[in-house]
Amino acid sequence: MSDWRFTLRMAAREVRAARRQLALYASAISLGVAALVAVTSFRTDVTGALHEESRALLGADVELRSRSPFEGEVRDLLDSLRAADMPVASLTSFGSMAFAPRTGGTRLVEIRAVSGGFPFYGSIVTTPAGRWDRLEDTRIALVDPAVLVYLGIDRGDTVRLGDAAFQIDGTVDRVPGEIGLEAAIAPRVYIAERFVDETGLVRFGSLVRYAALLALPDATAAESFVDEHHDLFQQSRVGHSTATEREENMSEWFEVLSRFLGLLGLTALLLGGLATGSAVHVFVRRKLQTVAMLRCVGAPQRTVFAIYLLLAALMGLVGAALGVALGVVIQHGLPSVLADFVPLDVEPRFRLVPALAGFGIGIWVAVVFALLPLLDVRNVSPLQALRHAVEPALRRRDGWKVAAHILILATVIALGVSQAPAPVVGLVFAGAIGVTTIALWATARVLTLGARRLLPTRAPYVVRQGVANLFRPHNQTTPVTLAVGFGVFLLGTVFLVQRNLLDRLAFESGSDRPNLVVFDIQSDQVEGVRALLADASVAPPQVTPIVPARIAAINGRPAEELLQDTTESSPGRWALRREYRNTYRDTLVPSEEIVAGRWWDGESTGAGRLARISIEQELAEDLAVGLGDRITWDIQGVRIETEIASLRRVDWARFELNFFVVFEPLALAAAPRTFVTLANVPDDMGMAMVQRDLVTRYSNVSALDISTVQETLQRLLESVTLVIRVMALFSIGCGLVVLLGAVATSRLQRLHESILLKTIGARIPQVRSILAVEYVTLGLLASLAGTVLAVAGGWGAVTFLFRLDFRLPVLSVLALVVTGVAATTAVGLTGNRGLVRRPPLAVLREVAE
């Protein structure tokens, strides 16, 4: 019979004998493949849908945006389009308070006023259906479902927006191109544009965004329209995007998001590979006698090697196939979990390419990780069939093993780079996996050596025996440390980052901190608002002026000219085009410090000198300006030239009123301005009353309850971490399989040991205690190692990614360690359950036979 037929036959027989065991190991691969297939298929679903419905994302072919109403040439252009019967819609958005007279509820909302038949493409889903079509003709409002909840009202109730009242006709469930996140921060209220004036909300200082939406024959027409008028838009500070650009932006955004999730899936897959590796290790260990016998009766090395390689491939095949199936099921569940992050409704479909890729990657990972333990098969001497004690021949510098290590390394890097949003991220990922593995492996080595060295000679027998188990031959210290350590590391990192972000929010909302922001206060309302707040607030409210302004020129060069300049040293477009909300004051606030130049400490500007400003350092970089440079501001048509007197570093994370640009007071004394104030209102009742009083007395003034922002952020953070945790769970599932595999390795050995112990008189509790000591020690060290790595990972993410000070929640970290120990001990004891209860005689007979 030829070699390969024998190989196939033997592999098939091995499968027959160990179906259940192999299925368990295959499941480790399947979890990783499932995570990967689900994420990549879903990504294909979303980018496909984005592409198919790119026009619906914008609702138009071209969108023009401006911070001020369209004027001059741009208005003429829009008028000429209308005259040529081209559809032009408009969308005006601004923040305001919504007030429900029936319940007294108030909430800051985003008002979106539409006209001209927006949207041209795609449809806005409302409840009851079809209410969108009535919006432009009637005095109704369509709102995000959240608005009803916040205001405590129902459909049919009235909502006041400024000076106008609207009947709520329905809720808006889906607007193509908008992601749920936006609605969570400021829920939307849609009205017809013709009622905007009636509300009286668009006043001096209001932050209003104007958009004009155009329908053109096709994408090419959209492209050429934008190209043709590019200069005009540039000069008029009109932003623009085409449907194609919007699609590309959204696809890119979603791609980055989903690729980060993909990396988590990959972590699960690599742990699955580790599980296969340890499974093969277990298998080969149990088969040493068989291998030796096969070699004895004349099986060549390669045949024996091929049998077990085939088995690993088969495990990979079954695992990968199961994984693809499971992945497709998860893919269909993802749209609801990720609804807040996806800009349109997605119909999940079976995606062949991600499925095939997942299938192939699954098998490959299983085989590559099986190689290392499999190579040991070659070292089994046929003599081992005659006598058990023969030590396998050790080969120094085994070329194949080096090759296997390189193959694993290359696989991790290649998979990391192919899944990551950017190659660098992939390399960092591979590096992190490598560092974690090496650190955990080193911990296991230290543990093994340390246990031998520091074995407590005077400790009770059960403790000595339990600790000795850590370094006895065929011990399971390394795989358990890797599995438990990885699980604790992943969970711990996600937890620490989440906890730090949440703590930050909670810290800022301490009882002595302001919790209400009141803004858009006009000059003649300042005293009234101050008086109203003084009664409710703990500390007297500080009123800060805000002067809206644009940059007209820098060092004498007009902004329009600078915008045309595309050389590298030119100022950033964003920084040039935006509307600044500047303030003026005498003193620095605690959240800022001067890094260059001098602050004006009360000294007044000399006559005839330029007004001085202080500018935030990163903005200075964007604008390519420094100390002594001159910026000319356009404040409601009046030009004021200023000189940069200092640069400041601002801690934006602190909840203060922070500004990019601060003027010295005298310079803006006569400028038109609005006011903003922070108040500290102690209880919920007071908070609701203050907001209601404000809205009823000053309809244009907006108030934002910080706690609602915090709740929103918290909810967002929780939904993000939920997704991450779900992905991490896959990894933990794989880790569990590794752990079970490790426990299974030594089960037979333990059986012999416990029989021996019981035969010579050990009681069951003693045998159990030995096991418990071993797993508690293992679990403790592995969890500690995982936790140290998690703290390092969490610190890195919080410090460098979120730029916050890292805080270590000691109690929670201790809880994490305890959980790791408990899980390890539970799995260890469960895996060996029944073992201690078996009567020695029955087992002795079984072992002898």
SS3 128: coil
* Distance of alpha carbon 60 from alpha carbon 56, whole angstroms: 7
668 contributes a contact to another protein by CB under 8 A: no
Q: Which is nearer to another protein, 123 or 379 (CB)?
A: 379
Q: Phi, psi (5° rounding) for residue 398? A: -75, 110
* Distance of alpha carbon 259 from alpha carbon 39, whole angstroms: 8
> Taking contact as CB under 8 A, which single stretch among the options 136-144, 161-169, 219-227, 289-297 is the one that binds another protein?
289-297
Q: Which is nearer to another protein, 10 or 263 (CB)?
A: 10
SS3 59: coil
Residue 333 CA, distance from chain mean position: 18
298 contributes a contact to another protein by CB under 8 A: yes
Radius of gyration of the chain from its Cα atoms, rounded to whole angstroms = 34
Do 690 and 533 touch, CB atoms closer than 8 A? yes
20 contributes a contact to another protein by CB under 8 A: no
Interface pattern 233-272 for another protein (x via CB under 8 A): ----------------------------------------
Cis peptide bond N-terminal to 423, omega within 30: no
747 contributes a contact to another protein by CB under 8 A: no
14 contributes a contact to another protein by CB under 8 A: yes
Q: Phi, psi (5° rounding) for residue 60? A: -160, 180
> Taking contact as CB under 8 A, which single stretch among the options 1-9, 93-101, 317-325, 564-572 is the one that binds another protein?
1-9
675-689: b (≥16 Cβ within 10 Å) or e: bbbbbbbeeeeebeb
Structure token digits, residue 740: 């079970």
> Taking contact as CB under 8 A, which single stretch among the options 9-17, 36-44, 474-482, 522-530 is the one that binds another protein?
9-17
Q: Which is nearer to another protein, 385 or 413 (CB)?
A: 385
18 contributes a contact to another protein by CB under 8 A: yes
16 contributes a contact to another protein by CB under 8 A: yes
Q: How far is the CB of 342 from another protein (least distance, A)?
A: 50
Q: How far is the CB of 760 from another protein (least distance, A)?
A: 23
List the one residue out of 703, 740, 563 whose CA is nearest residue 95: 703
> Taking contact as CB under 8 A, which single stretch among the options 384-392, 445-453, 465-473, 614-622 is the one that binds another protein?
384-392
Do 582 and 716 touch, CB atoms closer than 8 A? no
Q: How far is the CB of 283 from another protein (least distance, A)?
A: 11
* Distance of alpha carbon 651 from alpha carbon 647, whole angstroms: 13
395 contributes a contact to another protein by CB under 8 A: no
381 contributes a contact to another protein by CB under 8 A: yes
Q: Which is nearer to another protein, 401 or 573 (CB)?
A: 401
396 contributes a contact to another protein by CB under 8 A: no
Site for another protein in 680-709 (CB under 8 A): none
Q: How far is the CB of 446 from another protein (least distance, A)?
A: 25
Interface pattern 318-357 for another protein (x via CB under 8 A): ----------------------------------------
Q: Which is nearer to another protein, 298 or 608 (CB)?
A: 298
* Distance of alpha carbon 137 from alpha carbon 156, whole angstroms: 17
Q: How far is the CB of 455 from another protein (least distance, A)?
A: 21
* Distance of alpha carbon 775 from alpha carbon 827, whole angstroms: 9
Q: Which is nearer to another protein, 12 or 181 (CB)?
A: 12
- Angle, vertex CA 663, rays to CA 660 and CA 664, nearest 5: 145
> Taking contact as CB under 8 A, which single stretch among the options 697-705, 745-753, 783-791, 841-849 is the one that binds another protein?
841-849
> Taking contact as CB under 8 A, which single stretch among the options 118-126, 354-362, 382-390, 657-665 is the one that binds another protein?
382-390
Q: How far is the CB of 754 from another protein (least distance, A)?
A: 20
Q: How far is the CB of 301 from another protein (least distance, A)?
A: 6
Question: Concatenated DSSP letters for 161-224?
Answer: ETTEEEEEEEEEEE-TT--HHHHHHS-EEEEEGGGHHHHT---TT--EEEEEEE--SSHHHHHH
Please identify which residue in 356, 386, 402, 808 interacts with another protein, judged by CB under 8 A: 386
SS3 833: coil
| Total interface residues for another protein by CB under 8 A | 34
- Angle, vertex CA 542, rays to CA 541 and CA 548, nearest 5: 130
Q: How far is the CB of 757 from another protein (least distance, A)?
A: 24
Q: Which is nearer to another protein, 16 or 458 (CB)?
A: 16
Please identify which residue in 238, 257, 279, 294 interacts with another protein, judged by CB under 8 A: 294
13 contributes a contact to another protein by CB under 8 A: yes
299 contributes a contact to another protein by CB under 8 A: yes
Give one word for 200, left, alpha or beta, with left for phi > 0 and alpha for psi -120 to 50.
left
SS3 669: coil
Please identify which residue in 382, 558, 686, 796 interacts with another protein, judged by CB under 8 A: 382
Q: How far is the CB of 793 from another protein (least distance, A)?
A: 44
394 contributes a contact to another protein by CB under 8 A: no
Structural element, H or E, at residue 547: strand 542-554
Q: How far is the CB of 425 from another protein (least distance, A)?
A: 46
301 contributes a contact to another protein by CB under 8 A: yes
Q: Which is nearer to another protein, 19 or 102 (CB)?
A: 19
848 contributes a contact to another protein by CB under 8 A: yes
- Cα separations in angstroms, 214 against 94, 229, 622: 21, 14, 32
Please identify which residue in 24, 293, 526, 716 interacts with another protein, judged by CB under 8 A: 293
Q: How far is the CB of 838 from another protein (least distance, A)?
A: 16
* Distance of alpha carbon 774 from alpha carbon 286, whole angstroms: 22
Q: How far is the CB of 445 from another protein (least distance, A)?
A: 22
Please identify which residue in 115, 123, 235, 290 interacts with another protein, judged by CB under 8 A: 290
User: Contacts by 507-512 with C-beta closer than 8 Å and gap 24+?
Assistant: 508/654, 508/655, 508/706, 508/710, 509/706, 509/707, 509/710, 511/682, 512/538, 512/680
302 contributes a contact to another protein by CB under 8 A: yes
Q: Which is nearer to another protein, 19 or 75 (CB)?
A: 19
Q: Which is nearer to another protein, 214 or 385 (CB)?
A: 385
Residue 398 CA, distance from chain mean position: 43
Please identify which residue in 128, 347, 387, 637 interacts with another protein, judged by CB under 8 A: 387
SS3 298: coil
Q: Which is nearer to another protein, 295 or 581 (CB)?
A: 295
Do 654 and 591 touch, CB atoms closer than 8 A? yes
Q: How far is the CB of 474 from another protein (least distance, A)?
A: 19
Cis peptide bond N-terminal to 119, omega within 30: yes
List the one residue out of 283, 280, 288 whose CA is nearest residue 316: 280
Cα Dmax for the chain: 108
Please identify which residue in 9, 75, 474, 649 interacts with another protein, judged by CB under 8 A: 9
Q: Any residues with CB less than 8 A from the CB of 82 and at least 6 apart, and which? A: 88
Q: How far is the CB of 394 from another protein (least distance, A)?
A: 11
- Angle, vertex CA 471, rays to CA 469 and CA 473, nearest 5: 90
- Cα separations in angstroms, 104 against 406, 495, 691: 69, 39, 9
385 contributes a contact to another protein by CB under 8 A: yes
Binding site residues, another protein, CB under 8 A:
1-3, 5-6, 9, 13-14, 16-18, 289-290, 292-303, 381-383, 385-387, 846, 848-849
